[in-house]
Structure 1
Amino acid sequence: MSVTNADPTSAAEAAKLAALTLATLPVHDRNDALDIIHDELIAAKDDILAANARDMELARVAAAGGSLSQSLVSRLDLARPGKFEDMLKGIRDVRNLEDPVGQVTLRTKLDDGLELERVTCPIGVLLIIFEARPEVIANIASLAVKSGNAAILKGGKESTESFVAISTAISAALEKSKVPNGAIQLVTTRDVIPQLLALDRYIDLVIPRGSNELVRYIKSSTKIPVLGHADGICAAYLAESANADLATRVIVDSKTNYVAACNSLETLLVHKSTLDTVLPKVAAALVAKGVTLKCDPASKEALLKLGGDVASKVEDAQPADYDTEFLALTLAVKTVESVDDAILHIHLHGSHHTDTILTEEKEEAEKFMSAVDSAGVYWNASSRFADGMRYGFGTEVGISTNKIHSRGPVGLEGLMIYKYKLRGTGQISTNFGSGEGQREYKHEKLPL
């Protein structure tokens, strides 16, 4: 991995060249590189955490001055319990996954001696533009190496010290491996994002990770395909038959486990019949965790009856609250008449990220999961499960809410495309057709 301040075109050219080698590198060489990266990061842990502490000190000052959000500061903190270990575990998990390169997904016999295969292959060169989260570098590097893709990384200035420390360790690792060092590059030159986004000749996919503003800017500023999401407005529907204890556990975890995450709950839709039954228990548990509830008139009336701490945390919801990714201890609450109303609300106000239903009725749950057009639709489970590690992907390059080849947490599979290989024995297309003397295609499906 090279830490470079070269001009964007030179970096992209180097990545394109390295991608040619990486795409054909045997899996044992790619796995060996991941083992070395894992060990180098362990050896450099003290230096990395010290660099991260310097970034955190500046970030807290910026947040106090209002120029940086608290959610961004939270995402920056690599010393948060378990975070560094999770980064290392992600590398190991990816290393142990099946090789995604060269998997045959279709075989067809077009004619005797003429066989077609569809085979998985790397996308090519990835451009990852991200804010804050320093572990993204290790996540991306491990997924890129394993999938045979080259990657160019451009991080935000708030994490510069952390990025460079991690990248230095990964660069040292790649020098000891068969993976070309130019296959993973951290661009440190400032203000080069517009130039990088113009390099559609070399870069095959852009993956933004950061604020809504960043993602929207990138989507509107490049011809290169973009894999990402602009918002994480996740909703939960509290149905009439919801079990109070189960629903409380799931909703509290969805909202409070890590409020700065894009899979954190932002909207709670409640069936009118739960206003005086299940909702009070849920609301009390949320308030105990410090959550402010922005309520519509019906839910506000029900919760004010409880008095005490719950009533003190109830506020009037504004229309914009149902379109807001709070990334804070704030939750919008709205009363609905039915599961159909809940589905319609999510369709109009959601972001196609992750939505969940709390119900004991299987038919209702299946209807919700079929009708809600989101990357993740859950039944009686926390929205926080929307994560590549939790899905068994090892780690992820990000979450996609696009309707392209990959949705939800994007791991190895989302970084692959395919090509068709045709093996013949001298056939030409004019020999086939419906005319006299022409052959008909057999189109016989063959085992994989």
Structure 2
Amino acid sequence: MIVDSSSLLLKEIAEKTSQAGRKLGGLSTSDRNQAIEAIAVALENASAEIIKANELDCELAEKEGISIPLYNRLKLGKTKLEATIKGVRDVINLPDPVGHISIHRELDEGLVLKRVSCPLGVLGIIFEARPEALIQITTLAIKSGNGVILKGGKEAINSCQTLVKVIREALENTKVNPDAVQLLTTREEIRQLLDLEEYIDLIIPRGSNEFVRFIQNNTNIPVLGHADGICHLYIDKKADLETATAITVDAKTQYPAACNAIETLLIHESIASEFLPKIADALTSHQVRLKGDQLTQKYLNIEAATEEDWKTEYSDLVLSIKIVDSLEAAISHINTYGSEHTDAIVTEDKNSAELFMNQVDAAGVYHNCSTRFADGFRYGFGAEVGISTQKMPPRGPVGLEGLVTYKYQVTGNGHIAATYSGENAKPFTHRNI
């Protein structure tokens, strides 16, 4: 039998990460926070080196014809790096998610039950571009007591190698074993990683919808993530049009490559004639290419939006517009074509807002604000490991709470189950402590 040596090597890496992760989970809050601060300091000191490595990645990616949305995700300039380091320090100030007792109950005298939060174990993080995701997730992994195996896209290889080198060197002077943070560098290792359910407890993919679907369809390991970010903004008949304009422009143009940027704008027919020229001018001044349904084309000279456009995540300065005749029609369109990520309504009618927020099926539903707030850092999570659109929790931007599970601890004094069964069974007290 031929044995794949690279597969054996990856198993060894995964086993080392698992062992280091178990020790990490047993460290005190102070020890883990000190390690995170050491990472923040190291990143600051190595900022020039990190940015230089990222510039090399960007230069090579441009030569290979990288798409604009992917290039925007790849680029890690000074401002983005500084914001990411701030997010690292914000994690230090978050409550420790490990060791939280959510149930403390006396089953009977001397027999006590606790439900205690604990680390998952080892996280497998697979991402396209987005080098800042490596920093965010590594920090959250350490805070939550988990080991982490990282696999970045080939377009970000220099950035990732530099970042992991800086992080591992920083950990050498802390109580966290650097083996808790590992980096994979080849595409072949992705398939091998997806088969390591013996060692990997959760896979978190971050990238295009095709990429995330591939991960979801090719592993037995639980996957946390979302495949699509088809977000909507509905401008109601009772919307303040100045507010609507500002929110629309922000939700589309502030960072169009983000998964929480809007891809479809829905407008109530009663305000279409007044609002469409205004919003078209505002959007085109930001170089947004507009598409519209037949009704919209009566007001604007733009290309036609097809059925496929309602299903498309552009991740670029492209926006489809549709006129609807009611709030109910807007909700129906969103629930038909949306990806259950983030959708918003602009209206001064509280009843309409409440109906929208109750009936739209999404992880995030917003009233009179931009969808761009769907973000772990902006939610006060310090950072996020990703955004989940699944129905079971965690849902939406996922921070530390998505990286822990729990165990039941029962302590007795020679208690046996037979005492509580049969004709003379002793009753349980079930008294919360």
Q: Which residue of 2 aligns with 1:9?
A: 11
Q: Which residue of 1 aligns with 2:3?
A: none
Q: Which residue of 1 aligns with 2:80?
A: 83
Structure 1 residue 384 and structure 2 residue 384: aligned? no
TM-score (norm 1): 0.93
CA contact (8 A) 2:84 2:132 kept: yes
TM-score (norm 2): 0.96
Per mean C-alpha deviation after superposition, the further-off stretch among 169-178 and 423-432 is 423-432
Q: In percent, how many aligned pairs have the same letter?
A: 50
Per mean C-alpha deviation after superposition, the further-off stretch among 271-280 and 347-356 is 271-280
Matches within 5 A, 1:295-444: 295-302=292-299, 304=300, 311=301, 314-433=302-421, 435-444=422-431
SS class of match (2:27): coil
**Which residue type is aligned with residue 210 of structure 2?**
E
CA contact (8 A) 1:243 1:360 kept: yes
Q: Which residue of 1 aligns with 2:50?
A: 48
Task: Please list the CA deviations of residues 411-431 of structure 1 after superposition, one character each: whole Å capped at 9, or x if unmatched.
Answer: 111111111111222221121
SS class of match (1:290): coil
In 2: Cα distance, 1:10 partner to 1:405 partner? 32
In 1: Cα distance, 2:161 partner to 2:37 partner? 20
Q: Which residue of 2 aligns with 1:188?
A: 185
Matches within 5 A, 1:59-70: 59-63=61-65, 68-70=66-68
**Residue number among 289, 292, 303 corresponding to 1:292 in the alignment:** 289
Task: Please list the CA deviations of residues 145-188 of structure 1 after superposition, one character each: whole Å capped at 9, or x if unmatched.
Answer: 00001100011110111111111110110111100111111112
Q: What's the CA shift for 1:6? A: 7.9
CA contact (8 A) 1:78 1:84 kept: yes
SS class of match (2:256): coil
Structure 1 residue 267 and structure 2 residue 264: aligned? yes
Q: What's the CA shift for 1:443? A: 2.1
Q: What's the CA shift for 1:343? A: 1.4
Q: Which residue of 2 aligns with 1:28?
A: 30
Task: Please list the CA deviations of residues 17-48 of structure 1 after superposition, one character each: whole Å capped at 9, or x if unmatched.
Answer: 11110111111110110111111111111111
**Which residue type is aligned with residue 226 of structure 1?**
V
In 2: Cα distance, 1:235 partner to 1:99 partner? 35
CA contact (8 A) 2:149 2:184 kept: yes
In 1: Cα distance, 2:332 partner to 2:120 partner? 36
In 2: Cα distance, 1:349 partner to 1:11 partner? 42
CA contact (8 A) 2:7 2:192 kept: no
CA contact (8 A) 1:243 1:278 kept: no
SS class of match (1:119): strand
In 2: Cα distance, 1:301 partner to 1:407 partner? 40
In 2: Cα distance, 1:242 partner to 1:428 partner? 65
CA contact (8 A) 1:242 1:278 kept: no
Q: What's the CA shift for 1:190? A: 4.0
CA contact (8 A) 1:33 1:177 kept: yes
Q: Which residue of 2 aligns with 1:210?
A: 207
In 2: Cα distance, 1:94 partner to 1:438 partner? 49
Per mean C-alpha deviation after superposition, the further-off stretch among 153-162 and 419-428 is 419-428
Relative to structure 1, the CA distance from residue 206 to residue 121 in structure 2 (aligned partners, 3 Å threshold; closer, same or farther) is: same
**Residue number among 80, 83, 92 corresponding to 2:89 in the alignment:** 92
In 1: Cα distance, 2:297 partner to 2:334 partner? 21
CA contact (8 A) 2:169 2:178 kept: no
Q: What's the CA shift for 1:432? A: 1.5
**Which residue type is aligned with residue 72 of structure 2?**
S
Per mean C-alpha deviation after superposition, the further-off stretch among 120-129 and 268-277 is 268-277
In 2: Cα distance, 1:36 partner to 1:204 partner? 26
Structure 1 residue 179 and structure 2 residue 176: aligned? yes
Structure 1 residue 126 and structure 2 residue 113: aligned? no
Q: Which residue of 2 aligns with 1:308?
A: none
SS class of match (2:204): strand
**Which residue type is aligned with residue 12 of structure 1?**
A
In 2: Cα distance, 1:8 partner to 1:377 partner? 41
In 1: Cα distance, 2:182 partner to 2:392 partner? 26
In 2: Cα distance, 1:326 partner to 1:229 partner? 15
Task: Please list the CA deviations of residues 62-97 of structure 1 after superposition, one character each: whole Å capped at 9, or x if unmatched.
Answer: 12xxxx211111111111x52010111011000111
Q: What's the CA shift for 1:383? A: 0.5
Structure 1 residue 283 and structure 2 residue 271: aligned? no
SS class of match (1:319): coil
Task: Please list the CA deviations of residues 344-376 of structure 1 after superposition, one character each: whole Å capped at 9, or x if unmatched.
Answer: 111110101100011111111111111111111
In 1: Cα distance, 2:412 partner to 2:344 partner? 50
User: Across the two proteins, how many residue pairs are aligned to each other?
Assistant: 428
